Amino acid sequence: MEALGAALLVFVFLVFYLGVGTWIFVALLMVALTSLTLIMGMPIERVGAIMKGTMWRTASTWELAAVPIFVVMGELIFRTDISERLFRGLAPWVSFIPGRLLHCNIAGCTLFAAVSGSSTATTATVGKITGAALADRSYSDSLAIGSLAGAGSLGLMIPPSISMIIFGVLAEESIAHLFAAGVFPGLLIAGLYSLYIALRCTITPSLSPSDGITYTWGDRLRSLLDLAPVMILIFIILGGIYTGVATPSEAAALGFVAALVLTAVMRQLTWKVFMESMLGSVRISCMVLTILVAAAFMSSAMAYLHVPHEIAKGIAFLDLGPIGLIVLLGVFYVLLGMFLDGLSIMVMTLPITLPLITAAGYDPVWFGVFLVVMIELGLITPPIGFNLFVIQGLTGRAIGVIARAAFPFFLLMALAAVIITAFPEIALWLPKVLFG
C-alpha cells in the first residue's frame, strides 16, 4: 500500500509540474527529485549521485548516435527538391487507381518515412508538395488532409524510426530487430489507407476528379529517375542494417553521406541549406535526447519507489488476462496521446508497462510495434496532435476541421492495431527470417 500511495503522489507531482507549464524534461527531473527526497527521504547527495550515474549511462548509449544523424538527413532532404521529385515520380504509378493522386500522400509518406525516421518531417515534407497539387486539381479537401495526417504518422513506424531507436534503448532490445518488425505493420497501415481512399473514390468519383492526363508505360519507367534519390537512400540505410554490414548508427552515417552526395550532384546543396539543416537537427536532437535522459532518471526513481512492481501487482490482481491487459493499455495510451507527445509517453510509461507485457507472455519486440501504433494514434487526436498542428501550418485550416478529416484514418490505424494484436507474426516474421 505504501508503494501505491507513492505512485499516486508521483502522479500528482507530474500533473502539477506539467500543469504549471514546466518544460517536459524539467518536469521529469523535478518529479524524480521530489519523489526521492520527500517520499523516500533520501539525502540530496545520494539523489545527485543517482541522477548523475543514470543520466550519464543513458546519454553515452551508442545506439542514440543514430538519432541526430537521421534527423539531419531528414532536415537536408526537407530543404531540397527531393520531395517534389518524389511526387512527380509517384504520379504516373497511381493514376490508374481510384483516388489517383490522393495515393501520393500514402506512398510518398511511406517512402519518405524510410529515410526520415520522423513523423513531423514526413508530414511537413510530403504535405508541402501534395497539398498545393491536390488543391489545384480540386481533389476532396477532407480526403487530402486526412490521408496526409494519417500517412504522415508512418514516419514513426517505417524504419529507420527514431521512436524505435528510443524504444530499443529503453527496453534493451535490438534496434535492427525493431526496424524489421516495423516494416509489415507499416505497409499494412498504408495499405488500409489506400484501400479506404480507393473505395471512397469508387463510390463517389467526384472526390478525385480526372485531370485528363494519361501516362504511358514509358512515362512510368522514366518517372523512376525521380524516385531514384529516395530509393538509393532506402537501399543504403536498410540494406546496410539488414545485411549486417552496418549497425543502425553506422547505416545512419552512410545515409547522411549519401544524402550529401545526392544533393550535391543534383546541385541542391548550398552552404545555407547545409547550415539550416545542421541547426534544425541540433534543435530537434537536443529536445529528444534531453527528454530521454531526464526520463531515465525518473525511471530510476520509480524503481527505488517500487512503483512498477506495485502497479504490476495491482493489474495482476485484476486478473485481466493477456487480451484484457493489451486492451487496457491500448485505451490508456490513446488517452495519454491526447495530451502528451509520443516521446514523453514512451519514456514515462515504458518502465511500468514493459514488465507487465513480458509477464503476460507478449514479445517485447512486438510490443515496441504496438506502442508505436498507439503513439501514432496520438499524433492525429486533438487537443495535442502534432501532425494536426503541422497540417494546420501548411493549410491554415482550423484544428477541428483537420481532426474530423483525420478521424477515419484514426479508425483505420486502430483497426491495424487490432489486426497486429490478433496476428503478431505480421510484426515478428521478418525479424525471425532476417536474424533467426
Q: What is the DSSP letter of 80?
A: S
Radius of gyration of the chain measured on its C-alpha atoms: 22
**Residues belonging to the chain:** 436
d(CA 66, CA 283): 15
Strands (E), 71-121: none
Task: Give the orientation angle of helix 141-152 with respect to helix 102-116, to 10 degrees.
Answer: 20
Kindly state the cell numbers that stand for 388: 494536426
Distance of CA 310 to the CA centre of its chain: 30
| Cell 538527413 found at | 73
Each of the 436 residues of the chain gets a pLDDT tens digit; together they read 455 566 677 777 777 776 777 777 787 788 888 888 887 788 888 888 888 888 887 777 776 777 788 778 877 877 888 777 888 888 889 888 898 889 988 998 888 888 777 777 788 778 877 877 888 888 888 999 999 988 888 888 888 888 888 898 888 888 889 999 999 999 999 999 999 999 999 999 888 887 767 788 888 899 889 888 888 888 888 888 888 788 877 888 888 899 899 888 888 888 998 898 888 888 877 877 777 788 778 777 777 777 656 666 666 677 778 888 899 888 888 877 776 667 777 877 787 788 888 888 899 999 999 999 998 888 788 766 778 877 887 788 888 888 899 999 999 999 999 999 999 999 999 999 988 6
Boundaries of every domain in the chain:
2-435
Bin 378: left if φ > 0, else alpha if -120 < ψ < 50, else beta. alpha
43: its cell numbers: 539525502
Residues 159 and 173: their CA atoms lie apart, in Å, by 15
Place of cell 518536469: 27
Q: Roughly how many angstroms between the first and final C-alpha of the chain, as a whole number? A: 43
Pair 148, 131: CB distance under 8 Å:
yes
DSSP state of 1: -
* Pair 93, 102: CB distance under 8 Å: no
* DSSP structure class, residue 154: G
pLDDT score for 307: 67
Q: Classify burial at 2, counting beta carbons within 10 Å of its beta carbon; exposed 0-12, middle 13-18, buried 19 or more.
A: exposed
Q: Can you tell me which residue has the cell 500511495? A: 5
